[in-house]
A and B are shown apart, each in its own frame.
Chain A
Amino acid sequence: MKFSLNPITAKKLRRFRQIRRGFVSFTILAVLIGLSLIAEVLVNSRALIVRFEGKWYFPTYGAIIPGRTFGLDYDYATNFRELQARLEKEPERGWVLMPPVPYDPIENCYPGEFFRPRAPSFAERHFLGTDQLNRDVLARVVYGFRNALIFAGCYIVLTYLIGVSLGCSMGYFGGRLDLFGQRLIEIWSQVPFFFVVIIVASIVSGLGGMNLGWLLGVVVLFSWTSITWYMRSVTYKEKARDYVHAAEVIGAGNTRIIFSHVLPNVISTLVTFAPFSVAAAISALTALDFLGYGLPPPTPSWGELLRQGTSNLSAPWIVASAFGALMLVLVLVTFIGEAVREAFDPKKFTIYR
């Protein structure tokens, strides 16, 4: 059978494209995500290309290149900005091409100096200034965005995996599983989320430190309930449909009915939840980082930037960058979510139009 989109799905996609605000937001966000995936090429303290004494070097990816390779007097990773400055004086030995933003998110750019936030400067290529530890704010915003995306992606996959499998079994098989599952969700959703996260975070940091896995685990532990609840009710509803009976009547087993009859019918509504889940995940991560219970320093994150910014209001570029980035992404995601919801609204596809 050749691959072809269900005409209804095709229509939904067409409708989504017609909703300008959502589609433009989607394009912008897609570009931003694409750029963040190649962030090493755009924002990095490693050079893109080094031409040194007749040899080519591409230090962006791969192992660090010790300073001696370029005739410097140290064995640790080359400081390419220094190398660039040096080679500009002796152009016959070679040259260095740096990324547009030549800073790393975790390096303290002026190690000898007294740490202070530096104002944005095009000359120094700190386009959004530096934070209180002299780290480039733009670099931290970009890599913080990537961390938030990774977090949101894993969050969605995990919550949907748990929610769909548990919710589907509860709705489909019913009986005791359903009864106890419902009570468990009711009780579990009453547990205050932030308290538990704070408690778990303090225990975990005693055990050896918070990391993405732990944080994800804790957040997912409190987020699977809503999608499970939703999946349970739609499966329950879907199970009573005639085509499910029809599938039973032709001799199809439970697995087949769930995967080929129930799930495809609820997938379109699940899609409409996804953008809002992304927004929820990003806000949760930022909130936890802001409170200091998120990813450990020096991981770049927006919540951590916000915290620095609010305690250094004399350097408004820090808080403005973090807030601006957060706002932009959340607004884009929400616009996309609204557009998806509208495009997938079943009422638009009735024959009474």
Chain B
Amino acid sequence: MADAPILEVRNLVTAFDTDAGQVIAVDGVSFQCHRGRTLGIVGESGCGKSVTALSIMRLLPQPMGRILGGEILFDGRDLAQATPEQMYQVRGGKIGMIFQEPMTALNPVHTIGRQLAEVFLLHKTRDRAEALRLAIEMLKHVGIPSPEVRVGEYPHQLSGGMRQRVVIAMALACRPQLVIADEPTTALDVTIQAQILDLMQQLQAELGMSIMLITHDLGVIAEMCDDVVVMYGGRIAESGPVEAIFENPSHPYTRGLLDSIPRLGGQRKSRLRIIDGMVPALKDMPPGCRFQNRCPFAVDRCRKDQPAIEQVAPGHAVACHRWREVVAGAAVSATS
């Protein structure tokens, strides 16, 4: 089946054991990542984006983190049930991962050639010379000038953008079917950000992989993604195609996020719109909707019942009791 999603997460529940008891960091999250497309996961710090990614890779901090339930279907196989040996094959070979900090994602004591060759040695070849040759080829692929020289250099001799290119090269070395990018551009300058995003898109077009892009930057989402999942407090607030989310935000949180972006055409020196209040701590989440204490639309029902996922349009889902009012309100504020 060509259009079966490469990754399907169903009702994922991930918890951490802390001194204060068990904390549910990801609570019943479901989404799909289609072949050759880019899925964006957006949300503020602590909303469970990174934990979702780590759950997929089965790299939750041990022994505190645990997957309590749900399925992670990757290419038809449930990673939540996979053995450690199976995961060694999946990591790097079938799923690659790009980290936020290119400064620290490379080991300072090894040359980048050696680190890149390691991927090939683990998954493709046993021959060191061959691995090094593949490493040079991969560096050329990610646009690093004179890769033959660069393979012999150490991470501290490269600039931040170069290092991120190396990290991308490592993630893509074995032509994975899915790349999880955890805030890949957050630590970079804006100009370098654009280069890196371009590079990722170009490589995606060449290699036909899927990307799961985790970010809190809606600009990056608009630029890169086909589909978006908005997370809040460990749950999915809204999900759908990127156009639908940006044109017809149906969850008050998504609307808040979009409203708090400064706009070029807007009034100068006016205060930016913010979302009032704080995210409640994970261990004392209120019953009902988790956004209730910051939501301008909240009513009594929101404080009692957890909102079900409802369809706004085909492929566009939202978890809000009052999404119709939100959509109507958005229309009102847009006309006013």
Contacts and interface: CB of A to CB of B under 8 A. Distances in A.
Contact of B91 (A1, A175, A249, A260): A249
B93 A242 contact: no
Contact of A264 (B104, B109, B152): B109
B122 A252 contact: yes
A261 B107 contact: yes
A192 interface: no
A253 B92 CA distance: 12
A4 B149 CA distance: 14
Contacts of B118: 247, 250, 252, 256, 260
Interface residues of A, number: 24
Interface string A1-27: 100101110000000000000000000
Interface in A159-195: 174-175
B92 A249 contact: yes
A264 B97 contact: no
Interface in B137-185: 152, 154, 156-157, 167, 170-171, 173
Interface string B96-130: 11011100111111100110001100110000100
A251 B104 contact: no
Interface of A: 1, 4, 6-8, 174-175, 241-243, 245-253, 256, 260-261, 264-265
Nearest to B104: A242
Contacts of B91: 248-251
B107 A250 contact: no
A4 B171 CA distance: 27
Given A7-B154, A175-B63, A251-B93, A246 B99 contact: yes
B105 A6 contact: no
Contacts, number: 87
Contacts of A249: 57, 59, 91-92, 96-97, 99, 171
Given A175-B63, A260-B110, A251 B105 contact: no
Contacts of B96: 249-250
B132 interface: yes
Nearest to A238: B107
Interface residues of B, number: 39
Given A4-B152, A251-B122, 13 more contacts: A174-B62, A174-B63, A242-B100, A246-B170, A249-B57, A249-B91, A250-B123, A251-B89, A251-B119, A251-B123, A256-B118, A264-B107, A264-B109
Interface of B: 57, 59, 62-63, 87-93, 96-97, 99-101, 104-110, 113-114, 118-119, 122-123, 128, 132, 152, 154, 156-157, 167, 170-171, 173
A7 B154 CA distance: 8
Contacts of A175: 62-63
Nearest to B120: A250
5 contacts: A250-B171, A251-B92, A251-B93, A252-B122, A260-B110
Contacts of B88: 251-253
B154 A6 contact: yes
Nearest to B170: A250
